[in-house]
Amino acid sequence: MSATFIAPNPPAGPAGTRLRSRPWARFAVRRLRRLLISLWVLVTVSFAMIHLIPGDPVRGALGPTAPAELVEAQRHALGLDDPIVVQYLHYLKGLATGDLGTSLVSRLPVADVVAQRLPATLVLAVLAFLVAVAVAVPLGVVTGVLTRRGHGRRTELAFTTTSIIVATIPDFLLGVALVYVFGIELGWLPVAGNDTAPAYVLPVFSLAIGPAVILARIIRVEMVGVLEADFVRTARAKRLPARTIYAGHALPNAVTAALTVGGLLLSALVAGTVLVENVFAWPGLGSTIVRSILTKDYPVVQAIVLVYGVGVLITNLAVDVALALLDPRSKIRED
């Protein structure tokens, strides 16, 4: 497709070249700095969570009737009787060594709980993202071409109206509707768990449809704009076949803007798994965190919030890198 026969510049050049002259190196340094700051904020906030809870979180967790010595023992187990700086350092050290503490309810190491639950959530999010992109890109490109300037006013109106309405439906409500139609009325697909391949269909689609439609809208608008651009006329002047013009020249330029919004959608999708997992009894982090919030199992909640946060940060980083690869100008741009 977009044939680049020249190898991309290596991120690190030979010694002696100045950093300023190498956009990739500057981009990497700037982006890494932002990632580290965000990560530090995230870790600190997740640490602070238990301390922000008004009153005594342990008393709150165990209930007013719990004996005082049990509360005291629990406080000690959580390390809450140490000075706060010591607690913070302890927390950081734990993170560095993969020790996320112990669940107050199940007494299992939190790291084990996360390791056991993370794959299901990860698979769900990644599949939903792939489906969203696989739907959004062709839909956006095709509607963009159909509604380019001077064409398809009615198609445009129909598409815009439908997409606004579909995009407003929250994923969990869509999930409930899908459960009713395909699970109960038609009985075609399982509505709970992740044991079989068909069980993936409904959760993945409840998560994917909203972002897919929003993304398709953005790609359409971008395509309509890009198809008016001079370089598309140049591509036509080169008498390239239509599919090369649309896919090779117009799409990469439409996607760069879509990616920025796509990144936000993707991180929202990561969070959206929490609700959808609860609709479909999906054995992932989302159902675990809700149960842990209800049982006040703070170490587990803390760890899962951290995992989601890291997921969001990685997503944002991936989007920025993809942007830099697709649009050579974006890595020069300062924020």
Partner 1 sequence: MQGRWTRVVRTPLGLTATVLVVAVVALAVLGPVLWGSGAGAVDTDAILAPPSAEHLAGTDNLGRDILLRVLVATRLSIVLALLAITIAVVCGLVLGSAPFVLGRRSGRLLAAGVNIAVAFPGLLLALFFAVVFGVGATGAVLAIGLAGAPAFARLTQTLVAGVVARDYVAAAQAMGIGRLRILVRHVLPNIAEPLVVNATIGAGSALLSFTGLSFLGLGVQSPSYDWGRLLYDGIATIYVNAAAALVPGAAVLLAGLAFNLFGESVAKGLGVPAGIGLGAVVPGRRAVPVDAPAPAGRTAAADRPSDVVLDVRDLEVTVPGPAGPVRPVRGVSFDVRRGEAIGIVGESGSGKSMTALAITRLLAGRGRVDAARLEFLGQDLLAPDTAVRRRTLGTTLAMVFQDPMTAFNPTRRIGAQLAEVATHHQGMTRRAAAARAVDRLAAVRIPDAPARVRQYPHEFSGGMRQRAMIGMGLMGSPALIVADEPTTALDVTVQQQVLDLLTAIRRADDVALVLISHDVTVVGEVCDRILVMYAGRIVEDLPAADLVTAARHPYTRALVDAVPDMTTDLAEPLATIPGRPVDPADVPRGCAYADRCPLAGARCRAEDPPLVAGPDGPPGHRVACWHAGEPLPAPAGRDYDELVESP
Identify residues 58-77 at the interface with partner 1 (CB under 8 A). Answer: 60
93 near partner 1, rule: CB under 8 A: no
The site string for partner 1 over 110-149 (x = CB under 8 A, - otherwise) reads: --------------------------------------xx
Is the CB of 97 or the CB of 150 nearer to partner 1?
A: 150
What's the angle, vertex CA 90, arms to CA 84 and CA 96, rounded to 5?
Answer: 140
Read off φ and ψ for residue 99, nearest 5 degrees.
-100, 110
165 near partner 1, rule: CB under 8 A: yes
Is the CB of 116 or the CB of 244 nearer to partner 1?
A: 244
Identify residues 296-315 at the interface with partner 1 (CB under 8 A). Answer: 298, 301, 305, 308-309, 312-313
Is the CB of 139 or the CB of 312 nearer to partner 1?
A: 312
Identify residues 205-234 at the interface with partner 1 (CB under 8 A). Answer: 228-231, 233-234
163 near partner 1, rule: CB under 8 A: no
How many residues bind partner 1, per CB under 8 A?
A: 76
- CB of residue 257 to partner 1, shortest distance in Å: 12
Query: How far apart are alpha carbons 262 and 258 in whole angstroms?
Result: 6
164 near partner 1, rule: CB under 8 A: yes
- Which window, 92-100, 108-116, 179-187, 214-222, contacts partner 1 (CB under 8 A)? 179-187
CA-based R_g, the chain, Å? 25
Is the CB of 109 or the CB of 248 nearer to partner 1?
A: 248
Identify residues 6-25 at the interface with partner 1 (CB under 8 A). Answer: 6
96 near partner 1, rule: CB under 8 A: no
Query: How far apart are alpha carbons 81 and 312 in whole angstroms?
Result: 32
184 near partner 1, rule: CB under 8 A: yes
256 near partner 1, rule: CB under 8 A: yes
33 near partner 1, rule: CB under 8 A: no
Q: Judge contact between 317 and 50, C-beta under 8 A.
A: no
Is the CB of 98 or the CB of 328 nearer to partner 1?
A: 328
- CB of residue 108 to partner 1, shortest distance in Å: 20
Identify residues 257-296 at the interface with partner 1 (CB under 8 A). Answer: 267-268, 270-272, 274-275, 278-279, 289-290, 293-294
Query: How far apart are alpha carbons 288 and 302 in whole angstroms?
Result: 12
- Choose which of 121, 143, 253, 288 interacts with partner 1 (CB under 8 A): 253
3-state secondary structure the chain: CCCCCCCCCCCCCCCCCCHHHCHHHHHHHHHHHHHHHHHHHHHHHHHHHHHHCCCCHHHHHHCCCCCHHHHHHHHHHHCCCCCHHHHHHHHHHHHHCCCCCECCCCCCEHHHHHHHHHHHHHHHHHHHHHHHHHHHHHHHHHHHHHCCCCCCHHHHHHHHHHHHHHHHCCHHHHHHHHHHHHHHHCCCCCCCCCCCCHHHHHHHHHHHHHHHHHHHHHHHHHHHHHCCCHHHHHHHHCCCCHHHHHHHHHHHHHHHHHHHHHHHHHHHHHHHHHHHHHHCCCCCHHHHHHHHHHCCCHHHHHHHHHHHHHHHHHHHHHHHHHHHHHCCCCCCCCC
Is the CB of 25 or the CB of 274 nearer to partner 1?
A: 274
- Which window, 73-81, 100-108, 120-128, 174-182, contacts partner 1 (CB under 8 A)? 174-182
Identify residues 314-333 at the interface with partner 1 (CB under 8 A). Answer: 316, 326-329
